[in-house]
C-alpha cells in the first residue's frame, strides 16, 4: 500500500508534518499543500498541540521546490490548475507565517523554491552540513515566489537581491550567518533535538540554542561590501554595468551567471524584490506573487526554461527576448497589474 506524500500526526504534544515524496525530493504538489493546511488548521486551536515540527523522510533533501512540470503544462493551456496550486500553496505559506504556535523546520538537505516557502516562516529553522539553499527561479524563467518578495529584501544589505537574481546556492554557514536559518546542527544531533523537543515541545528555540553547533566561517561575509555596492541598483542593466566596471574575479563570475538567466525574469524579479521591500504585510506580498505567478507561467521564458532544465535537460534555454534592453517596462508592468476579476486575498 502506497504511503501518502505527507505524513501528519500528533506525537505527544507535537503536531508532526513529514514530507514523504523522496523520489521527487519532496517537491510539493497540490495534495501535499492541502494535507499540510488541513493539519495546521486542525492543530491551531487544539490545546493538545504545543508546537509543530516539519521535516522529511529519507536523507536526500528537505524539499526541492514545487511540481514544475504540472505548472508548465497548465501554463501552456488555460493555467487554471497552476493558479489553483499557487492559491493553495501561498495560503499555506501565509498560514505558517501567522501561525500562533511555534513552528520548527529541519532543513536537512536541499531546500529550494517551495521548500523555502514552508520553512522560511518557521520560528526555528535548523540547517545541517547537508543543507543547500537556493532560489534558482530566474534560471527557468520564473521568479523567487513563495514569499521571496518578502523575505529576501529583508536580509542584510542587498544580499537578498544577489540571491534572487543569481540563484546562488548557499550552505549552512551562509544561511545561518544571513539569518535565513536560525540554527545550525550537525545531522547526528537531530535525534537528540527531537527527543528533547518531545519532552518540552513549547520551547523549540531554547532546545535548538542548547544543541547548536558551529557551521564554520560564512564565505559570503567576504563579499558583503561588494554585494551592497553592486546589487543596490533599481535597474538590472545598472547591476550588469556595475559588475563589469568592477572587474574583480568575483564580480565577473556573478555577471557570467546573470547572463545565463532569463532577461525577463531578471527584470521581473528585481521589481518583485524592490516592491516587496515596501509592502506592509506578508499577505500583500503573496497577492502580488499570485498575480505574477498566474501570468508568467504562460510566457515563452517559463515554458522554455522548464523545457531546458526539467524536461529535455539540455540546459540551453533560448530566452525571448534574448537581451535586457529588449524587455520593455510595459511588459514587466503588465505582469504586476491588478487582476481583472479582483484580487485573491491571503489573510
Could you tell me where the beta strands, DSSP code E, fall in the chain? Answer: 6-11, 14-19, 51-56, 61-63, 103-107, 110-112, 124-127, 132-134, 170-171, 183-184
114 catalytically annotated: yes
137 catalytically annotated: yes
276 catalytically annotated: no
Residues 6+ apart with CB under 8 A from 58: 22
**Which listed residue (5, 89, 108, 137) is catalytic?**
137
Cβ atoms within 10 Å, residue 100: 7
Q: Do residues 277 and 156 lie in contact, with contact meaning Cβ atoms separated by under 8 Å? A: no
**Which listed residue (15, 61, 65, 66) is catalytic?**
66
In angstroms, rounded to a whole number, what is the distance separating the alpha carbons of residues 7 and 67?
Answer: 18
Could you please report the per-residue DSSP string of 88-156? HHHHHHHHHHT-SS-EEEEE-SEEETHHHHHHTT-SEEEE-TT-EEE--GGGGT----TTHHHHGGGSS
Q: Cell numbers of 83, please?
A: 493558479
145 catalytically annotated: yes
**Which listed residue (61, 109, 114, 148) is catalytic?**
114
**Which listed residue (55, 67, 89, 145) is catalytic?**
145
Catalytic residue IDs? 66, 114, 137, 145
Amino acid at each position: 500500500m502506497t504511503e501518502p506524500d505527507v505524513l501528519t500526526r500528533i506525537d505527544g504534544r507535537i503536531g508532526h508534518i513529514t514530507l514523504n515524496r523522496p523520489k521527487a525530493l519532496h517537491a510539493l504538489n497540490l495534495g501535499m499543500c492541502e494535507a499540510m493546511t488541513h493539519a495546521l488548521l486542525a492543530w491551531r486551536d487544539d490545546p493538545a498541540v504545543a508546537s509543530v515540527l516539519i521535516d522529511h523522510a529519507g536523507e536526500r533533501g528537505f524539499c526541492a521546490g514545487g511540481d514544475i512540470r504540472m505548472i508548465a503544462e497548465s501554463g501552456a493551456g488555460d493555467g487554471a490548475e497552476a493558479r489553483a496550486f499557487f492559491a493553495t500553496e501561498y495560503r499555506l505559506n501565509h498560514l505558517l507565517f501567522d501561525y500562533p504556535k511555534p513552528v520548527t523546520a529541519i532543513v536537512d538537505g536541499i531546500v529550494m523554491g517551495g521548500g523555502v516557502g514552508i520553512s522560511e516562516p518557521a520560528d526555528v529553522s535548523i540547517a545541517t552540513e547537508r543543507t543547500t539553499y537556493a532560489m534558482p527561479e530566474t534560471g527557468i524563467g520564473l521568479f523567487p515566489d513563495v514569499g521571496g518578495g518578502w523575505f529576501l529584501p529583508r536580509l542584510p544589505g542587498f544580499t537578498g537581491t544577489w540571491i534572487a537574481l543569481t540563484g546562488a546556492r548557499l550552505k549552512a554557514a551562509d544561511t545561518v550567518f544571513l539569518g535565513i536559518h536560525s540554527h545550525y546542527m550537525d545531522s547526528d544531533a537531530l535525534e537528540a533535538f527531537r527527543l528533547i523537543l518531545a519532552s518540552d515541545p513549547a520551547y523549540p528555540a531554547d532546545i535548538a540554542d542548547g544543541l547548536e553547533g558551529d557551521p564554520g566561517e560564512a564565505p559570503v561575509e567576504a563579499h558583503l561590501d561588494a554585494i551592497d555596492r553592486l546589487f543596490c541598483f533599481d535597474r538590472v542593466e545598472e547591476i550588469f554595468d556595475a559588475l563589469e566596471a568592477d572587474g574583480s574575479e568575483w564580480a565577473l563570475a556573478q555577471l557570467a551567471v546573470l547572463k545565463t538567466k532569463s532577461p525577463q525574469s531578471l527584470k521581473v524579479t528585481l521589481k518583485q524584490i524592490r516592491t516587496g521591500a515596501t509592502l506592509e504585510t506578508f499577505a500583500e506580498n503573496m497577492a502580488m506573487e499570485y498575480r505574477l505567478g498566474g501570468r508568467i507561467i504562460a510566457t515563452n521564458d517559463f515554458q522554455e526554461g522548464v523545457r531546458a532544465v526539467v524536461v529535455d535537460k539540455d540546459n540551453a534555454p533560448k530566452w525571448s527576448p534574448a537581451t535586457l534592453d529588449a524587455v520593455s517596462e510595459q511588459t514587466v508592468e503588465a505582469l504586476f497589474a491588478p487582476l481583472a476579476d479582483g484580487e485573491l486575498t491571503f489573510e
